């Protein structure tokens, strides 16, 4: 039974193989000449001061939320897409209602989120 | 077509869900908050009408390929939930404007929450129970944290979320084990399974622990006082009435349909839980000076009385629990409504019992209303609370739990102390500084008066309702096995 | 073939799980968790649960991990803050819970009750497929399916409520 998934494993193997080989190849073949100049900022650039890690605004988190919601939608859409013909018109409407509800949620978020981003622009 | 029929039987939930989406989109397109509020009320009004019709006319039936029920207990639970929400929204609108936190998102969230509660209260399958429970909880986590500029509000939301997520884990684990033991998630099919092994009992206990978390029974009550104190007052009323009703109805259904053969085995466990909950809830409520916190502990105490009904493990016990939930919804929404009114005039945390001194004469109607609700919560005769307690305790006596009921009656008598203390402050103490109360809106006082009238009405003539509830369990396995 | 596959995936799963717990950098931990989830989806494949394997990668290794990384970025913990040196109550509790869960899993494996119907290899293949789950989800489980849409929307609205900038609103005068 695992043999049925052989193509996937072959693909995985090739991807892994290529990733490793390319990383090593670029190290071996590519020229490597470090110099102090390369570490300096570009012209008119600023010297990096302080920690590069900063607290991210909560607005970015909302984007992640939204991504998760639609990623979860895949769970439901995927089996439907596979069985689309067999399930018929009733299920089609059921899934459309499902998508409609989530789309309303998306429109709502976009409307609200744009407002939030604007506030942050004007206050900063 | 079957699906149309199912949808018609599930109409209250459908209306509430559509209402929630409509209100949400109105907010997205920046409608005025008045419009949003009115739309919410219109949808809830229609849903309440349909729910009442279902309550009176609909025979019990299973819908959506046995995923949910209609009529019977399902209609009863739906009615209480929609009823509680209807009045909560009226009170919430006024209260949140008063404390300057009237976010438009509150209304869609309340609607989605109600949808989740209806799904929970009508569920006939553990999968449906889970989805309903989660929909309800997710909305409540957000609603608990509306007042973000006060530390208590933030604490409330965070605590509720962490504890809620924790109990969700228990719940899922319980479902998994039960499915592993019985091979089904459908309540009647689990109920048909009789020979319990360790896996079965593990599933049952995890499921029950999760429910005890949700309804805040001791020793799983730790989150309740903080969450109830920090949340906006009317939302607290909502959580403690509609939310608890939905959870309890689901619990009763699970006990009745999925575990009829182990009802006697569970009696001891439920008795201990009931005992602890009654004693702790009442004892700690006595020493509270904050009225909202006192009501939070009193709601724990009431969960204790409800567990007496569950411990009885009989049809009488379960129907007493359902009646109790109805009565508790009337009186607790009312009591929190008056507290919210006092609070709204001042600070968000104007809740100390001493600051109530002399308020009873300022707006006499509010004082009288609060007294009625508190009398009913204390279980003093001619109030719905008295009848509810009477039914629960008599079911306990019938099941032979005499000592438990004695403790319950004593605890209930002791509870009169802290309820009456509020009234003493209202009427017999002089306020230190003169506090002026603005006149309540007409609709606000009318809804409170209506709730008070219902409280009194069910205190005088509970008969019809109790018989109706009793009828829901006519095909229960318990009646067949009862001695 | 199957034994070989199992041993390979199991070793990989154990190794990545250990690396995740022991790694001091939170981001590295998260990345090891992704590898661990990949190996878990390998288990699902060997159990003929094709749909679960796909979902494990799509949702857990994809979406949930994005959320984890966002949380790590939002919290922005310093690296030395998370090195726990002393054994405290939380750790004891964690170990206790782990032991209980492990014991209970071993018990279940040891005492399989047989309540679940006995399936042949062929039938098992058919049950775990995406097609079989699709057939069930949109017929029997239609109500929970639609309710999930409301649940997800409610979660979005709730997050919007808590994450918005203003903490107060003045209502317009009526």
Return the pLDDT at C174: 46
Least confident segment among B122-136, C38-52, C83-97, C134-148: C83-97
CA distance B312 to B310: 5
The ipTM of this complex is 0.91
C158 C-beta neighbours (distance < 10 Å), count: 24
Report, as an integer, the average pLDDT of B163-172. Answer: 93
Contact A108 B25 (CB under 8 A): yes
pLDDT digits (tens, 9 = 90+) for B228-237: 998 999 999 9
Residues pairing with B70 in the sheet? B61
Cβ-contact A56, C74 below 8 angstroms: yes
pLDDT digits (tens, 9 = 90+) for B97-133: 888 888 999 999 999 999 999 999 999 999 999 999 9
For chains A and B, count residue pairs whose Cβ atoms are closer than 8 Å. Answer: 17
- Per the rule left: phi > 0, alpha: psi between -120 and 50, beta: everything else, B95 is alpha
Which is more confidently placed, C78 or B158? B158
Nearest Cα neighbor of B70 from B25, B149, B143, B123 is B123
Nearest Cα neighbor of B257 from B109, B425, B426, B129 is B129
Contact C165 A73 (CB under 8 A): no
Q: Which chains touch A (3 or more CB pairs under 8 A)?
A: B, C
| Helix, strand or coil, per DSSP, at residue B139 | helix
Return the pLDDT at A122: 42
Q: Indicate whether A76 pLDDT > 60.
A: yes
Which is more confidently placed, B346 or B39? B39
Report, as an integer, the average pLDDT of C144-171. Answer: 86
Least confident segment among B104-118, B163-177, B390-404, C64-78: C64-78
Entry pTM? 0.91
Q: What percent of chain A has pLDDT over 70?
A: 85
Return the pLDDT at C141: 92
| Helix, strand or coil, per DSSP, at residue C76 | coil
CA atoms within 13 A on the CB side of C59: 15
| Helix, strand or coil, per DSSP, at residue B74 | helix
Give the chain A residue nearest C58 (alpha carbons): A71
What the block records as the tokens of B88 is: 């909560």
CA distance B299 to B328: 9
What is the band of B82 on the pLDDT scale with cuts at 50, 70, 90?
very high
Cβ-contact B338, B370 below 8 angstroms: yes
- Sketch the domain layout of chain B as residue ranges: 1-258, 261-483
CA atoms within 13 A on the CB side of A100: 11
Q: Which residue has the tokens 């008295």?
A: B386
Contact A79 C130 (CB under 8 A): yes
Least confident segment among B159-168, B190-199, C153-162: B190-199
Nearest Cα neighbor of C30 from C87, C82, C68 is C68
pLDDT digits (tens, 9 = 90+) for C60-114: 888 888 888 888 877 766 555 555 556 677 788 888 888 988 888 888 777 765 6
Return the pLDDT at C97: 87
Return the pLDDT at C75: 72
| C149 part of contact set with chain A, CB < 8 Å | yes
What the block records as the tokens of B86 is: 């209807």
| Helix, strand or coil, per DSSP, at residue A124 | coil
Shortest Cα distance from C5 to chain B (angstroms)?
26
Which is more confidently placed, B199 or B77? B77
CATH code: domain C2-113 is 1.20.120.1200
Contact A108 B24 (CB under 8 A): yes
User: Which residue among B115, B142, B181 places its CB closest to the CB of C113?
Assistant: B181
- Sketch the domain layout of chain C as residue ranges: 2-113, 129-163
pLDDT digits (tens, 9 = 90+) for B21-50: 999 999 998 888 899 999 999 999 999 999
CA atoms within 13 A on the CB side of B186: 13
pLDDT digits (tens, 9 = 90+) for B288-308: 989 999 999 999 999 999 999
B413 C-beta neighbours (distance < 10 Å), count: 12
Q: Indicate whether B476 pLDDT > 80.
A: no
pLDDT digits (tens, 9 = 90+) for A13-38: 999 999 999 999 998 998 888 888 77
Return the pLDDT at B461: 83
Return the pLDDT at A123: 42
Return the pLDDT at C113: 58
Shortest Cα distance from A107 to chain B (angstroms)?
8
B209 C-beta neighbours (distance < 10 Å), count: 18
For chains B and C, count residue pairs whose Cβ atoms are closer than 8 Å. Answer: 122
Give helix then strand counts, H and E, for chain A: 4, 0
Mean of per-residue pLDDT scores for chain A:
82
What the block records as the tokens of C160 is: 């919007």
Cβ within 8 Å of residue B138, ≥6 positions away:
B116, C151, C154, C155, C158
Q: Indicate whether C120 pLDDT > 90.
A: no
pLDDT digits (tens, 9 = 90+) for A46-72: 777 776 666 667 777 778 888 888 888
pLDDT digits (tens, 9 = 90+) for B316-343: 899 999 999 999 999 999 999 999 998 8
Mean of per-residue pLDDT scores for chain B:
89
Cβ-contact B374, B316 below 8 angstroms: no
Angle between helix axes B33-57 and B72-98 (nearest 10 degrees) is 160
Mean of per-residue pLDDT scores for chain C:
82
CA distance B358 to B73: 43
User: Which residue among A2, A79, A97 places its CB closest to the CB of C137?
Assistant: A79
Q: Indicate whether A1 pLDDT > 80.
A: no
User: Which residue among C121, C145, C156 places its CB closest to the CB of A105?
Assistant: C156
What is the band of C168 on the pLDDT scale with cuts at 50, 70, 90?
confident
Shortest Cα distance from A101 to chain B (angstroms)?
8
Backbone angles phi, psi at B407, to 5 degrees: -60, -40
Distances (CA, A) of B332 to B372, B387, B455, B477: 11, 15, 10, 33
Test the A interface: residue of C126, C133, C159 with most A CBs within 10 Å: C159
| C127 part of contact set with chain A, CB < 8 Å | no
Residues pairing with B352 in the sheet? B290
Cβ within 8 Å of residue B327, ≥6 positions away:
B376, B384, B385, B387, B388, B455, B458
Q: Indicate whether B168 pLDDT > 50.
A: yes
Least confident segment among B181-190, B363-372, B377-386, C125-134: C125-134
Backbone angles phi, psi at B82, to 5 degrees: -65, -40
**In angstroms, how far is CA B32 from the centroid of its own chain?**
31
What the block records as the tokens of B429 is: 């103490």
Contact B28 A90 (CB under 8 A): no
Cβ-contact B383, B456 below 8 angstroms: yes
What the block records as the tokens of B266 is: 């569970």
| C122 part of contact set with chain A, CB < 8 Å | no
| Helix, strand or coil, per DSSP, at residue A47 | coil
Shortest Cα distance from B51 to chain A (angstroms)?
23
Nearest Cα neighbor of B259 from B111, B410, B112, B478 is B478
Nearest Cα neighbor of B477 from B352, B240, B314 is B314
Q: Which contiguous run of DSSP H or E holds residue B69?
A: strand B68-70
Contacts B103 to C, Cβ<8 Å:
161, 164, 169
């Amino acid at each position: 039974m695992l043999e049925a998934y052989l193509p996937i494993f072959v693909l995985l193997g090739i991807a892994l193989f290529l990733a490793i080989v390319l990383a090593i190849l670029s190290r071996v073949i590519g020229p490597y000449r470090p110099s102090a100049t390369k570490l300096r900022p570009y012209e008119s650039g600023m010297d990096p001061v302080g920690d590069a890690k900063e607290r991210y605004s909560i607005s970015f988190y909302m984007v992640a939320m939204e991504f998760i919601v639609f990623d979860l939608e895949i769970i439901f859409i995927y089996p439907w897409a596979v069985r689309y013909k067999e399930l018929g018109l009733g299920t089609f409407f059921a899934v459309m209602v499902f998508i409609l509800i989530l789309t309303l949620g998306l429109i709502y978020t976009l409307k609200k989120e744009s407002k939030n981003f604007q506030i942050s622009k004007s206050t900063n | 077509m079957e699906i149309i029929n199912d949808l018609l039987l599930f109409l209250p939930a459908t209306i509430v869900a559509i209402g929630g989406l409509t209100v949400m989109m109105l907010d997205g397109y920046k409608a005025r908050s008045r419009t949003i509020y009115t739309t919410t009320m219109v949808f809830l009004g229609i849903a309440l009408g349909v729910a009442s019709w279902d309550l009176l006319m609909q025979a019990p039936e299973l819908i959506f390929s046995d995923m949910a029920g209609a009529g019977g207990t399902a209609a009863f639970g739906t009615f209480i939930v929609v009823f509680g929400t209807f009045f909560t929204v009226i009170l919430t609108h006024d209260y949140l404007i008063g404390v300057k936190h009237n976010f438009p998102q509150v209304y869609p969230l309340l609607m989605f929450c109600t949808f989740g509660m209806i799904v929970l209260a009508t569920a006939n399958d553990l999968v449906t129970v889970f989805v309903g429970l989660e929909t309800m909880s997710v909305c409540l986590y957000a609603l608990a944290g509306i007042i973000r500029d006060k530390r208590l509000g933030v604490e409330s939301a965070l605590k509720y979320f962490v504890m809620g997520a924790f109990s969700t884990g228990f719940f899922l684990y319980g479902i998994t084990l039960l499915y592993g033991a019985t091979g089904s998630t459908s309540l009647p099919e689990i109920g048909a399974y009789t020979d319990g092994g360790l896996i079965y009992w593990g599933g049952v206990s995890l499921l029950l622990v999760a429910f005890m978390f949700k309804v805040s029974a001791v020793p799983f009550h730790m989150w309740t006082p903080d969450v109830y104190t920090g949340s906006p007052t009317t939302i607290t009323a909502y959580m403690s009435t509609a939310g608890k009703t939905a959870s309890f109805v689901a619990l009763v259904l699970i006990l009745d349909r999925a575990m009829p053969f182990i009802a006697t085995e569970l009696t001891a466990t439920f008795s201990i839980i009931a005992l602890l909950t009654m004693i702790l809830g009442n004892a700690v409520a006595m020493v509270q000076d904050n009225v909202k916190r006192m009501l939070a502990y009193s709601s724990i105490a009431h969960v204790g009385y409800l567990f007496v009904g569950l411990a009885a493990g009989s049809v009488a016990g379960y129907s007493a629990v359902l009646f109790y939930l109805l009565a508790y919804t009337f009186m607790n929404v009312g009591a929190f409504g008056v507290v919210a009114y006092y609070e709204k005039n001042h600070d968000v945390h104007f809740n100390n019992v001493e600051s109530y001194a002399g308020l009873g004469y300022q707006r006499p109607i509010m004082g009288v209303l609060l007294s009625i609700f508190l009398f009913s919560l204390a279980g003093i005769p001619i109030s719905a609370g008295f009848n509810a307690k009477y039914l629960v305790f008599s079911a306990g006596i019938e099941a032979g739990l005499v000592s438990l009921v004695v403790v319950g009656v004593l605890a209930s008598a002791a509870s009169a102390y802290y309820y009456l203390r509020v009234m003493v402050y209202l009427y017999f103490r002089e306020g230190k500084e003169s506090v002026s109360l603005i006149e309540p809106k007409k609709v606000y006082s009318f809804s409170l008066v209506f709730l008070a009238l219902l409280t009194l009405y069910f205190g005088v003539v509970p008969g019809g309702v109790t018989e109706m509830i009793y009828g829901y369990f006519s095909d229960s396995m318990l009646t067949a096995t009862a001695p | 073939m199957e034994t070989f596959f199992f041993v390979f995936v199991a070793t990989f799963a154990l190794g990545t799980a250990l690396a995740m717990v022991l790694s001091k950098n939170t981001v590295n931990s998260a990345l090891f968790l992704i590898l661990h989830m990949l190996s878990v989806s390998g288990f699902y494949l060997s159990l003929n649960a094709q749909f679960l394997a796909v979902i494990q990668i799509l949702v857990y290794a994809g979406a949930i991990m994005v959320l984890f990384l966002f949380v790590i970025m939002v919290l922005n913990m310093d690296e030395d803050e998370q090195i726990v040196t002393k054994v405290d109550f939380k750790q004891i509790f964690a170990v206790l819970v782990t032991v209980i869960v492990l014991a209970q899993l071993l018990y279940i494996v040891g005492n399989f009750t047989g309540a679940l119907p006995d399936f042949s290899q062929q039938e098992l293949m058919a049950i775990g497929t995406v097609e079989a789950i699709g057939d069930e989800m949109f017929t029997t489980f239609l109500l929970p399916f639609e309710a999930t849409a409301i649940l997800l929307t409610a979660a979005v609205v709730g997050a919007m409520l808590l994450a918005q900038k203003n903490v107060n609103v003045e209502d317009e005068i009526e």
